[in-house]
């Protein structure tokens, strides 16, 4: 399968090129040339299949032309070594808990899949050693570092702002060792991101080493997220719920929801989507006005969604041939303040005994407000509430139990390399690697 660029000015790429490059040479995002429809027989029997079996069928439609069946199956099964349960919250609302992976956040799925796919190309195609640079304000760094841990032929450098990441998040990428190096930058998140961008544009560095990124613009990271949309619907079918399924996604860069939209194009029976936003409401404004106006991001308590210019919006536009009408007929939006998020998290805990994290709370609220009586709603619970322990404890006034997996990270020894925020120091460091 070939991949084209949403900007239409770059040559078509193979899967391997798209994964290694991340972004097309015209700065567009890669899109698969064909989105295969899955047969109705698959949708009929989905309810009796395991998560891994369902995911493999979807993965085969995306990647089957480029990877032999046994290797692809191994990549899928290896990625999904944890469950994604559908939990009833109240009335006709269900939570798809995506936080049972190694770092307790949904980004584990894409990060693990991408690492194994890159590992496959490196082993099979004599691809040169690849260096992944990732700037993080918390969650992306931990998912990528853990996803890529121990994968042969890949080194990961996680750049994070010194003193600006919570201790729980920090220990998830600074205690790993092996092929993971944590770079503690004396600056803010934007400085880290600027360093990564400058590195990709620097000729000396690119001659010295093969650099790539691992954010949700990479096809190997965002497409595998389609797997759990199919599994969510399968679990509803098992409960006898087949009609008027609505999926609500707490959205920042829109990689997650875009994977769901791909699922719908493949035939997944979902009647509509809701993109739930915190105060960073660029997409919601687009739906209202048909104008896309990026803004500076605003800090909120659902901080993984603090995005002022969602990178995957270009893919949404491309999927719907730039039609505002087509987009608004399948996706609706909403925006909530921190106060509303807090109120919802507290109320849901008191009424339903279900503990949300601040991101899931945004999505749950949208269903509670906008789901029609004949519809059944699923929201994606994207992170474990303990990842936002202080915030959640302040809201509910009770302590939150930290799962064993997170506690294990906190026992490790922190290892990091301290660097100032100027590019010359960063470059000099990488040139010695």
| Residue 64: CB atoms within 10 Å | 15
User: What is the Cα–Cα distance from 70 to 68, expressed in whole angstroms?
Assistant: 6
Give the shortest CB-221-to-ligand PLP separation in angstroms: 9
Residues near ligand PLP (CB under 6 A):
105, 107, 139, 216, 250-256, 304-305, 359, 382-383
Strand order in the sheet with 376-381: 86-90, 93-97, 376-381, 245-250, 272-277, 331-335
379: Cα separation from own chain's centroid: 15
Q: Which is nearer to ligand PLP, 121 or 161 (CB)?
A: 161
Shortest distance, CB of residue 139 to ligand PLP, whole angstroms?
4
**Among the residues of 214-356, which ranges form H helices?**
219-222, 226-238, 255-265, 282-289, 313-319, 324-330, 338-352
Q: Beta partners for 378?
A: 94, 247
CA distance 181 to 175: 9
From the centroid of its chain, how far is CA 90?
26
Least spacing, CB of residue 7 vs ligand PLP, in Å? 21
DSSP 136-188: -SSHHHHHHHHHHTT-TTEEEEEEEETT-S-HHHHHHHHS--TTEEEEEEES-
The CA radius of gyration of the chain, in Å to the nearest whole number, is 21
Q: Are 379 and 395 in contact (CB under 8 A)?
A: no
Taking the least distance from each CB to ligand PLP, the nearer of 10 and 89 is 89
Cβ distance to ligand PLP smaller for residue 218 or 251:
251
372 catalytically annotated: no
Q: Using the minimum distance from each CB to ligand PLP, give the nearer residue, 139 or 184.
A: 139
Q: State which residue, 67 or 305, has the beta carbon closest to ligand PLP.
A: 305
Shortest Å, Cβ 260 to ligand PLP: 10
Nearer to ligand PLP, 46 or 219 (CB): 219
Catalytic residue among 73, 107, 164, 353: 107
The minimum distance between CB 119 and ligand PLP, in angstroms, equals 23
**Sequence-ordered list of residues with C-beta below 8 angstroms from that of 325, at least 6 positions apart, any chain:** none
Q: How far is the CB of 218 from ligand PLP (least distance, A)?
A: 12
157: left (phi over 0), alpha (psi -120 to 50) or beta: beta
Give the residue numbers marked as catalytic. 107
């Amino acid at each position: 399968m070939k991949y084209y660029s949403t900007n239409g000015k770059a040559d078509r790429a193979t899967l391997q090129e798209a994964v290694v490059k991340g972004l097309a040479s015209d700065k567009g995002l890669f899109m698969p040339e064909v989105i295969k429809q899955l047969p109705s027989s698959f949708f009929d029997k989905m309810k009796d299949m395991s998560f891994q079996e369902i995911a493999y069928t979807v993965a085969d439609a995306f990647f089957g032309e480029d990877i032999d069946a046994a290797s692809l199956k191994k990549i899928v099964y290896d990625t999904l070594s944890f469950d994604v349960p559908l939990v009833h919250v109240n009335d006709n609302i269900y939570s798809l808990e995506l936080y049972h992976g190694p770092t307790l956040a949904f980004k584990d799925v894409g990060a693990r899949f991408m690492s194994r796919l890159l590992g496959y190309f490196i082993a099979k195609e004599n691809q040169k050693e690849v260096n992944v640079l990732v700037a993080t304000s918390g969650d992306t760094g931990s998912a990528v570092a853990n996803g890529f841990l121990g994968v042969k032929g890949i080194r990961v450098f996680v750049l994070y702002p010194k003193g600006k990441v919570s201790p729980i998040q920090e220990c998830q990428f600074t205690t790993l060792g092996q092929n993971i190096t944590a770079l503690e930058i004396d600056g803010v998140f934007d400085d880290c991101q600027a360093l990564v961008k400058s590195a990709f544009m620097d000729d000396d560095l690119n001659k010295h080493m093969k650099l790539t990124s691992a954010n949700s613009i990479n096809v190997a990271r965002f497409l595998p997220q389609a797997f759990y949309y199919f599994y969510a619907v399968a679990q509803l079918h098992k409960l006898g719920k087949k009609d008027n399924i609505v999926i609500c996604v707490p959205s920042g860069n829109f990689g997650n929801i875009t994977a769901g939209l791909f699922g719908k194009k493949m035939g997944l029976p979902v009647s509509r989507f809701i993109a739930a936003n915190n105060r960073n409401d660029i997409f919601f404004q687009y739906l209202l006005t048909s104008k896309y106006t990026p803004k500076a991001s605003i800090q909120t308590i659902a901080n993984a969604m603090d995005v002022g210019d969602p990178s995957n919006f270009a893919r949404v536009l491309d999927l719907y041939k730039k039609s505002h009408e087509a987009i608004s007929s399948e996706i609706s939006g909403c925006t909530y303040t921190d106060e509303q998020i807090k109120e919802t998290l507290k109320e849901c805990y008191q009424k339903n005994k279900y503990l949300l994290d601040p991101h899931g709370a945004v999505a749950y609220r949208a269903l509670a407000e906008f789901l029609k009586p004949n519809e059944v709603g699923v929201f994606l619970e994207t992170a474990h509430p303990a990842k936002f322990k202080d915030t959640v404890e302040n809201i509910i006034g009770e302590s939150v139990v930290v799962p064993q997996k997170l506690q294990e990270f906190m026992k490790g020894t922190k290892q990091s390399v301290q660097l100032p925020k100027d590019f010359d120091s960063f470059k000099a460091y990488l040139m010695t690697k």
